[in-house]
């Protein structure tokens, strides 16, 4: 049986939220942020998780092993604002048991 994992998300106001994310609902990080309302409606996941916008960009601060970045995510980040070496699109990070302990900071709204 899959269980929830604990992840830490720092929102755009700098507030750290330690949340339980379900691993059995095929959710991605952007959807978790939305379901916990950690970013105002309409400011995250604008494209619906297609890697077509960078509204769910986040900075990965834990050394959690993440799935490799795909071309469309890389292309989107190459044009986004506030990109850092540890930037990822939240919609491309699936919540799985391997993500236990993941810590991210939401990038500023661009």
**CATH no. for residue 28?**
3.10.20.30
20: left (phi over 0), alpha (psi -120 to 50) or beta: beta
Q: Coil, strand or helix: which one is 97?
A: helix
Q: Mean pLDDT, to the nearest integer, of 66-93? A: 96
pLDDT digits (tens, 9 = 90+) for 7-62: 999 999 999 999 999 999 999 999 999 999 999 989 999 999 999 999 999 999 99
**Per-residue tokens: 65:** 């092993």
Q: Which domain holds residue 9?
A: 4-106
Overall domain count for the chain = 1
What residues pair up with 94 in beta bridges, in sequence order?
Answer: 28
Using one digit for the tens of pLDDT, what is the confidence trace for 59-77?
A: 999 999 999 999 999 999 9
CB 2 within 8 A of CB 96: no
Q: Which of 52, 33, 36 is nearest to 44 (CA)?
A: 33
Alpha-carbon distance 39 to 29, whole Å? 12
């Amino acid at each position: 049986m899959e269980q929830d994992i604990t992840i830490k998300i720092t929102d755009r106001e700098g507030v750290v939220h330690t949340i339980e994310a379900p691993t059995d609902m095929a959710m991605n990080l952007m959807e978790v942020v939305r379901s916990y309302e950690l970013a105002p409606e309409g400011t995250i996941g604008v494209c619906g998780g297609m890697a077509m916008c960078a509204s769910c960009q986040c900075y990965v601060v834990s050394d959690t092993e993440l799935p490799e970045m795909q071309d469309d995510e890389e292309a989107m980040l190459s044009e986004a604002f506030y990109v850092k070496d540890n930037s990822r699109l939240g919609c491309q990070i699936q919540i799985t048991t391997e993500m236990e302990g993941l810590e991210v900071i939401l990038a500023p709204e661009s």
